Amino acid sequence: KFIVYTYRKKFSNFWGMSDLVEAYRPWFIKDQLTKMEAVYLEKFACPPVIAKYENLNSAARSQLMKTLQSMKSSSTVMIPKNIEVDFLNVISGGGQHFRQSINYQNEAISKAILMPNQLGFNKVDVGSNAKAMTQFDVFMWTIESIRRNVEEAIVNEQIIKRLVYYNYGDQEQYP
């Protein structure tokens, strides 16, 4: 024998529907943003080095190129006075636009699964205690509704009803 519980069952669909269906799109976008952020940070963690020179022969240019390429792994370099070296600062914001977008997707995922934003899982700068308590109450109503649904579908309909039937036979009214 099996105990079957179908959450959000529609039209005899015994598989039901997950709450996570609504959260898939923001999760997918967040996943892509996280990958793009990693590529961005990897690409711009060491800023590009720009060397400006005048009248260098090819041997000096190749030596300068070797020196510039070795700069990524070492922290000190000696360069002649007539060569100017700049570090291009591309990561001035430090990828904050990725962080903001990822936080927005986190909020969208929380809303999709009916998680209140002031419950402590999302970063909230301001908010009143009354608002947090109201959000918590609504969240608890949702959890209580799911609990009652599980109790009715599994415990009352499948376990208790079957136990009474097996022990006492068919009844007009089940507890």
Whole-number pLDDT of residue 29: 94
Q: Is 89 helix (H, G, I), strand (E, B) or coil?
A: coil
pLDDT mean values, one per 10 residues, the chain (175 residues): 74 80 92 89 70 77 78 57 66 75 87 73 67 81 85 79 83 79
Angstrom distance (rounded) from CA 153 to CA 65: 73
- Work out the widest C-alpha separation in the chain, in whole angstroms: 103
Whole-number pLDDT of residue 91: 60
What sign does the CA torsion over 66, 69, 73, 77 have?
positive
Task: Identify the H or E element spanning 42.
Answer: helix 24-44
Contact present, 174 and 164 (Cβ < 8 Å): yes
**Prediction pTM value:** 0.56
Whole-number pLDDT of residue 86: 67
Q: What is the DSSP string of 36-71?
A: HHHHHHHHHSSPPEEEE-SS--HHHHHHHHHHHHHT
Q: What is the pLDDT of residues 6-55, one digit of tens each?
A: 777 778 777 877 878 889 999 999 999 999 888 887 777 766 666 777 77
